[in-house]
Amino acid sequence: MSFSGPAEIKVALAGPPNVGKSTVFNLLTGLHQHVGNWAGKTVERKEGTFPYGRTSFRVIDLPGTYSLTAASPEELIAREFIIRERPDLVVAVLNAALLEHGLYLVAELLSLRIPVVIGLNMMDVARKEGLAIEPGVLSAALGLPVVPMEASSRGGIKELVKAIAAAAEGGRIPEPQRPVIREDHRLVLDRTGRLLEGTDLEPYPRDWVALKILEGDEDISRKVAAAVPPGRWEEILALLKRHDDALVAVASGRYAWIERMTRAALVRPQTGPISLTHRLDRWLTHPFWGLLAFAAVMAAVFSLTYALGIPLQGFLEKSVIQGLQGLVGGWTASSPWWIRGALVEGILGGVGTLLTFLPILILFFGFTALLEDVGYLARSAFVMDRFMHAMRLHGKSCLPLIISFGCNVPGVLGTRIIESTRARLLTMFLIPLIPCTGRMAVIAFLAPLFFREQAALVAIGLILLALGLLFATGMIGGRLFFRQDAAPFIMELPLYHVPHPRTICDLVRRRSIEFVRKAVVVILPVSLAVWALSRFPEGRVESSYLAGFSRALEPAGTLMGFDWRLMVALFAGFIAKENSLAALAVLFGAGEGVALGDLIVSAYPPAVGLAFMASQLLFIPCAATVAAFKQESRSWRLTLFNVAYLFILSAAVGIAVYQAARRIL
C-alpha cells in the first residue's frame, strides 16, 4: 500500500556503555553529524543522517545506559526521548561478550512497545572469551532482527543498515517476546493500571506507567501523583505498600526472560576461561601491584606527553603565534595603538597562546583515551578507590581528576560520569587544585631559572604540595558535605581489548573541540577585557587599571615577597594560566636581545620565585575553568566560593612558602 516511503525515518541508537555504540554511530552517519547538548542538560547529543534507497534515515545517539530506570540523567534522557519523540525504531547496540547484560536494556525497551533491532557488536571479543553465539537462534527466540557485528573492523554495518531499512518499511516484524512479571505482582500491576484509568498520562503508555510505579520510579511517581484525582495516589501507595520488593521482582522477571531467550543461542565455555582480562586483572587490580602499575602508567603518560608536547608547543608559539603577531602588527602599523594591541596582544597573545597548548592536550587526551578504550581507566578508578574514600568520594571521581592534569576544563565536564550530584560537586570543587599543563608551563619556565639542577625536584615538590592540599580539602569538604559515603560505588569493568583508533580519535577530537570552543567563546572576550585593563587608560602597563589594582594589593603581596609586577602576573593568569609569563614579559619589556629569564632572576631572590610558583599553582582557576564550573554546577554561589577559597589558599601558601624559604634559602 505504500507508494513512496516516508521522507525521513527516525532511528534512535541505544545501548550500555563500552559496547562500541559511538563506533556504530560514526559508521552509520559518516561525516553527516551534528553534536550538541540535550536541551537543558550537559549530556552530549549526537545526531546524524544516512540515505538508503530513497529514504533518509536520521540517527539519534542516545546516552549509554544499562537500563531505563531514571537513576541517572542519561537514563532519563534516553527514555524521555523514546517516549516523547517516538522514533520509528530503536537500534540496541549490545556487546556480544556481555549478551545477558545488554538484553536487560532490550527488556526495558520492549516494555515501551517500540520496534527494536539488535546490533550484536563485538562478536570477535565474544569468540575470544570462548562464547559461542547463534544470532539466528537468538533472533528467532526474541522475535527481533539480530545483526552480528564487529564494528571496529566495519563488520556488519551493511547488514545493520539493511535490517533498519527492512524494519522501517514496516515489513511485518513478528510480535516480540516480552518479559512477564511474577504472578503475585501481576495482580498489583493490573490493579495499579485500573487505578490510573481516566487519568491523562500522555505521552506515557498506561501499562508502562503502572510498571514503573510498581518499580518505585521516582520521576514517574512524581508525575502521576500530580496528575491523578485527589485521593487516588494514596490508594495506589496503599496498594504498593505490601510490595516493596517489586523493583527486584520486576528485574528478576526480566532476567528470567533473558535466561529463556539465550538458552539455545548462547553456549558458554565448559572450563572456566582463563581469559586475557582475567590474567591482566590479577596484576592490574591487585591491591599492591595494581597501585604500582597505576603509578607507572601515569608516569609514562606524563613523561611522554611533556617530552613530545613541550617542543611542539614551543614551536607553535615561536613560529606560528609570534609570526602572526609580526604580520598583524605590520598590517595595523598605522592604526591606533589600541586596535593593534587588542589584536596582537589581546587576541593573539591570549587566545593564540592558549591554543599553542593544543598539541600537549591532544597528546594527553590521546593517551587517556587509549587507556579508556583498552579498558584500563576503569581499573585505575578501582585501585584509587580506597584513597578517594578518605574524601567520602569513590573511584569514579578519580577519572575527571586525571583528565584535569591536561586541562581543568574537560576535567570539570568529565565529572558528569559521577552519579551523585553532591559527589560531582565536590569533585568539581577539587579539580582546580590539579596542576594543568598551563600552570606546569609556568613552572617549567621558572623552576630552572631559580633552582637549576634541582628544578625537577622543585617542580615535583610543588605538584605534591598541590595534591596534598587537594586531599586535605577533599577530606574536610567530604566531612562537611556528606554524613557518609556520597555515592554508591558500583561499576562495570569492561573486558580488555585491542584499541580502536577510530574510537580514540573520536574521543580526542571531542575533548579538543570542547577545549577550543571554550578558548574562543569564553577566553576571547575575557582576554580582551583583561588586556584592556592592563593597557588602558594610557596604553602602558605601568599606569593601567590592572597595575593600579595590583599596586593596591601590593601590601598583601609583600608578605609573599611580591612586587606589583608579580601581582599583575598572578592576576593575568586568570585569562589562561600560562599568561602569567606573557604578562611578565610585557612588564619587564623583554624582547630584542634581552631574555626574560635573565631579567627575572636578577630581579627576585629564589624564595620569591618559589613563593610565586606555589601561589600561581593554586591561584584562582582560569576564566575557562570558572565558566565550565558555573555551567556544570549551575550554581554561582558554589562557583564564587570555589574562586574565593582558592584565592585565600593561594595567598596563605604563598606567604608560608616565602616566609619559610627566605630563612632557609
Partner 1 sequence: MTPRAAGPMTLAQLSSGRRAVVAGLDGGRRLLARMVSLGFVPGVEVVMVQNPGRGALIVQIREARVALGRGEAHRILIAPARLPA
* Least distance in angstroms from the C-beta of 497 to partner 1: 13
Residue 283 CB, nearest approach to partner 1 (Å): 11
Query: What CA–CA distance (Å, rounded) separates 209 from 199?
Result: 11
- What is the dihedral angle through the alpha carbons of 633, 634, 635, 638, rounded to the nearest 10 degrees? 10
Cα(215)–Cα(240) distance, integer angstroms:
10
Nearer to partner 1 by C-beta: 386 or 517? 386
**How deeply is 508 buried, as exposed, middle or buried, from its count of CB atoms within 10 A (0-12, 13-18, 19+)?**
buried
100 or 538: CB nearest partner 1 = 100
Please give the Cα distance from 148 to 162 (Å, whole number): 13
Q: In degrees rounded to 5, what are phi and psi of residue 54?
A: -100, 5
Q: Which is nearer to partner 1, 168 or 384 (CB)?
A: 384
Contact 339, 346 (CB under 8 A): no
Residue number with CB closer to partner 1 (138 or 587)? 138
- How far out from the chain centre does Cα 384 lie? 18
Please, what is the minimum distance in Å from the beta carbon of residue 109 to partner 1? 13
For the four alpha carbons of 314, 315, 318 and 320, in that order, the dihedral sign comes to negative
Could you give the CA distance from residue 279 to residue 297 in angstroms, rounded to a whole number? 18
CB of 401 or CB of 566, closer to partner 1: 401
Residue 247 in grid coordinates: 523493583
User: Smallest distance, Å, CB 138 to partner 1?
Assistant: 15
**Angle in degrees, CA 489, 490, 496, rounded to 5:** 120
The answer to whether the CB of 108 falls within 8 A of the CB of 178 is: no
Q: How far is the CB of 61 from partner 1 (least distance, A)?
A: 20
Helix (H) or strand (E) segment spanning residue 47:
strand 44-52
Question: Which residues bind to partner 1, rule: CB under 8 A?
Answer: 66-67, 69, 71, 97-101, 104, 129, 131, 215-216, 218, 247-248, 251-252, 255, 277-278, 281, 285-287, 378, 381-382, 385-386, 389, 394-395, 419, 485, 488-493, 495
Calpha distance 461→657 (Å, rounded):
12
Nearer residue to partner 1 within complex by CB, 391 or 495: 495
State the nearest-atom distance from the C-beta of 148 to partner 1, in Å.
Answer: 17
Dihedral sign of CA atoms 333, 336, 340, 345 in order: positive
User: Minimum distance from CB of 491 to partner 1 (Å)?
Assistant: 5
Sign (positive/negative) of CA torsion 364, 365, 367, 368? positive
Q: What single letter denotes the amino acid at residue 609?
A: G
- Shortest distance, position 151 Cβ to partner 1, whole Å: 19
Q: Which amino acid is at 588?
A: F
Least CB distance to partner 1 at residue 284 (A): 11
CA distance 502 to 24: 11
What's the min distance (Å) between Cβ of 272 and partner 1? 8
Rounded least distance, CB 399 to partner 1, Å: 13
Nearer to partner 1, 109 or 568 (CB): 109
* 312: Cα separation from own chain's centroid: 26
Nearest one of 589, 545, 559, 579 to 656, comparing CA atoms: 559
- 448 vs 597: CA distance, rounded Å: 10
